[in-house]
Structure 1
Amino acid sequence: MALEQEATYRGTVYPWQCDHVGHMNIMWYVGKFDEANWNLFARLGLTPSYLRASGRGMAAVQQNITYRRELLAGDVIEIRSQLLELRDKSIRFRHDMTNAETGEIAAFCELTAVHMDRSLRKSASFADDVRAIALRHVAEPVGA
C-alpha cells in the first residue's frame, strides 16, 4: 500500500482544544501533526526501537502550516502524509489534515526533519535499510 493511502493520524477535536472563538487552537494542529510525524517515521523504518538502539533521533528544522478550514469541537480528523524528498541526512514531507466527515482539507503542513546522532548532537546519514524503505515512498512531483 502506498504511504499516502493510509492515514498517519486519526482523532477528534475536543472542546478543551478550542480557543475563545470556538475553533481548534493552533497548538493542537501542531500536536496532531507531530503525532503524524512519528507514525510516518515508523513506516520508514525510523521506529522507536531503531532510534533507541542506534542512538539516533529526528529533529524538525522547518515547519510551515497553512490553515484552510476551521475545525470545531466534535470534528473527526484524519492526517495523510507524503514523503516529498529524501536527502543524505534529512527528509521533507507533507501532512494533509482533513475533516473526515466532509473530506475538506482543514490544514496542511510541510516539514523538513534531520536525522541526528544523539550523542554527537549533529546530523547523521540515514542507514541504508531506512534509505531503501524511504526511497520506495517518495511521492512523484506534481506534473511528472
Structure 2
Amino acid sequence: MEGEATYRGTVYPWHCDHVGHMNVMWYVGKFDEATWNMFARLGLTPGYLRESGRGMAAVQQNVSYKRELLAGDIVEVKSRLLEFRDKAIRVLHEMRNAETGEVAATCEITAVHLDRAARKSTPFAPAIRYTALQHLVPSEPTIA
C-alpha cells in the first residue's frame, strides 16, 4: 500500500501485555495518532477545529492484526484517504515493522465532521474539501 507516513514511533516495554507483544490498546492508540496527522494534512488542524467550533468523531473502526510487535520494534504507519463525502471521510492505515517491512496491522476508520455546538454532523468547508480531494486515493481493485 502506498500512502503518506502519518506516524513513526517505538514499541516500549510498557506497551506489551502478558504474552510479550504490543497490546491492542496501543495499536489503536498509534492508529489514532496517525489519524490526527492525516486530518491535519487535510486542513483539519487543532487550530481549525477549535476556531471553527468543529470536531471529528470516529463512527466505525475496523482493525486487522497481522503480525506481533515486540518491545523495541520501530513502527511506521502510512495512511490513505479512501473516501471523502459531504460530512464524512474514510481512511485506511497500514502499520508496519519499520525494520522488517512486515505489515503488523491495518485499520480502516470512518469519521464524521461535527458542529460541536449543535452536536450533529455538518458539511466540510470548501477549503477542506479542496485539500482533501488532492489526497484522495481510492481503494485498489480486488483481484479474485
CA distance in 2, matches of 1:16, 1:78: 19
State which of 8, 11, 22 in structure 1 corresponds to 2:9: 11
Please say if residues 69 and 104 of structure 2, whose CA atoms lie closer than 8 Å, have aligned partners that are also in contact: yes
The TM-score, its normalising length taken from structure 1, stands at: 0.95
Deviation at 1:74, TM superposition (A): 0.2
Equivalenced residues, count: 141
CA distance in 1, matches of 2:66, 2:140: 20
**CA deviation vs aligned residue, 1:58-77 (integer Å, no higher than 9, x gap):** 00000000000000000000
Which residue pairs with 2:47 in the alignment? Answer: 49
Paired letter, 1:104: E
Deviation at 1:136, TM superposition (A): 1.0
Paired letter, 1:83: L
- 2:69 pairs with 1:67: no
Paired letter, 1:141: S
Deviation at 1:143, TM superposition (A): 3.5
Please say if residues 84 and 90 of structure 2, whose CA atoms lie closer than 8 Å, have aligned partners that are also in contact: yes
Any runs of at least 4 consecutive aligned residues in structure 1 with deviations exceeding 4 A, and if so which? none
Paired letter, 1:18: C
Secondary structure in 1 matching 2:106: strand
CA distance in 1, matches of 2:62, 2:126: 29
Paired letter, 1:77: V
Which residue pairs with 2:121 in the alignment? Answer: 123
Structure 2 unaligned spans of 5+: none
The TM-score, its normalising length taken from structure 2, stands at: 0.95
Deviation at 1:140, TM superposition (A): 3.3
CA distance in 1, matches of 2:45, 2:19: 38
Deviation at 1:7, TM superposition (A): 1.0
- 2:106 pairs with 1:108: yes
Which residue pairs with 1:90 in the alignment? Answer: 88
Quote the RMSD (CA, aligned, Å). Answer: 1.3
Which residue pairs with 1:36 in the alignment? Answer: 34
Which residue pairs with 1:139 in the alignment? Answer: 137
Deviation at 1:119, TM superposition (A): 0.5
